[in-house]
Amino acid sequence: MKGKRIALFIFVDALGWEILQAHPFFLSDIAKNRRRLKTILGYSSACDPSIISGLTPSEHGHWSCFYYSPETCPYKWVRWLGILPDFLTNNHRIRHRLSQLIAWVHGITGYFQIYNVPFKYLPYFDYAEKKWMWEPGGMIRGKSIVDLLSAKGISYYVKGPHTSDVQQWKEVEQAIDQQKIEFAYLFLGKLDALMHGWGTRDRSVGELLGEYDRLIRNLIKRAEEHYEQVDWYVFSDHGMHNVQQPVDLQKVIDRLDLVYGKDYAAMYDSTMARFWFLNDPAKQKITHALQQVPEGRWMLEKELRELGVYFPDHQYGDAIFLMHSNMLIVPSYMGAKMIAGMHGYHPDDADSYAAILSNRNLNDQNLESIKDIFRLMEKSL
């Protein structure tokens, strides 16, 4: 006997609306219902919590990874790693291992990465995502779909990005065969990584989408064999921009004769620089210096409010300098080198838009933003 109903929510990292337009074959015949979705300004650390909670970063409290808070920084000891030679401390693998070590020592279960943040500056910053977001109680504020599922006692499969795509699909296939679950949230993360490396126009993008097309069709077919009703949604968090020009913002600030940690603190994410001003002259100097940089612009408070990323206590920065599309901060605290693709630009840019495809009607669902995916999940229960 077949199970009654299953809802499959399949997350394809960086499957932007524009990427979809360039590859019209992708699920073309089975996903007639499709919509463009506005993304959230920021990175996965902002988009993922909005998708699973239906809230904006201002509401749920997750935006970027690091925020200025020297008093509460739990891993102040990493300062001493700064005395190690550069070839060790700049090594990507060593930094990844160290991230795991720091997370373990301080009981951080959330997605923790020190990326390229200099060890001497890490003690100025605390980390937002301390808890694993993909289990009940994981949000800083508000409730996620996982909270809802567990409160309602619905059998579900949600693992989050620590479990590999392959492992997740294998486990969900088994659960479907045994009709064990009514809800699944699955990850496909390779497209994002591929486009960071090669940009959106590389041939490998179409090839991977071809693979995903087959994979998703097979899963749906399998679900239909075991359940009477299968509602499925394929969706993303953001699109991808091709990067054309590196911009050395740190050099502009370093020229100002200000002392990091005394006059100001800065977090150079890859597409935005966030500043905390520790005195007024520093604020004037930094504001003025970056006004002369044509590759980006200061965000207005009104704009941050409208985008749902305004924090009255300036937790994530007193001021945000956002790069224009195609421009990348290099080096940044996220990466030392130029890469081919990036996201985290203004949500109104065409290449920033995310997408959703489904076998269900999406027209009267008031679907405008990626955070509205939460309501679809809620309704599917």
48 forms part of the interface with Zn ion (CB under 5 A)? no
Tokens of 370: 């990626």
DSSP notation for 125-148: EEES--S-TTSTT-SSSS--HHHH
From the CB of 14, what's the least distance to Zn ion, in Å? 6
Positions 189 through 248 that interact with Zn ion (CB under 5 A): 192
Nearest to 252 by CA among 285, 297, 299, 298: 285
Tokens of 252: 């502009």
From the CB of 97, what's the least distance to Zn ion, in Å? 21
Tokens of 150: 């567990």
Helices (H) then strands (E): counts for the chain: 13, 16
From the CB of 193, what's the least distance to Zn ion, in Å? 7
Window 156-195: contact mask with Zn ion (x via CB under 5 A): ------------------------------------x---
Positions 330 through 349 that interact with Zn ion (CB under 5 A): none
DSSP SS3 for 21: helix
From the CB of 195, what's the least distance to Zn ion, in Å? 8
From the CB of 178, what's the least distance to Zn ion, in Å? 34
From the CB of 341, what's the least distance to Zn ion, in Å? 8
Size of the residue set binding Zn ion (CB under 5 A): 1
From the CB of 242, what's the least distance to Zn ion, in Å? 14
Smaller CB separation from Zn ion, 182 or 192:
192
Positions 289 through 328 that interact with Zn ion (CB under 5 A): none
Q: What is the 8-class DSSP label of residue 265? A: E
Smaller CB separation from Zn ion, 164 or 291:
164
The length of the chain is: 381
Smaller CB separation from Zn ion, 3 or 161:
161
Contact 320, 268 (CB under 8 A): no
Contact 140, 60 (CB under 8 A): yes
Smaller CB separation from Zn ion, 192 or 213:
192
Smaller CB separation from Zn ion, 16 or 317:
16
Q: Which residue is nearest to Zn ion (CB)?
A: 192
Count the Cβ atoms, other than its own, within 10 Å of residue 319. Answer: 19
- Give the E-state strand segments of the chain in sequence order: 3-12, 33-37, 66-68, 125-127, 156-158, 183-188, 227-235, 241-242, 245-247, 264-268, 272-277, 296-298, 319-323, 327-329, 341-342, 354-358
Smaller CB separation from Zn ion, 123 or 341:
341
From the CB of 240, what's the least distance to Zn ion, in Å? 8
Which position has the token pair 């969706």?
A: 235
Smaller CB separation from Zn ion, 78 or 194:
194
Smaller CB separation from Zn ion, 126 or 192:
192
End-to-end CA distance of the chain: 21
Q: Which helix (H) or strand (E) holds 173?
A: helix 165-177
Binding site for Zn ion (CB under 5 A): 192
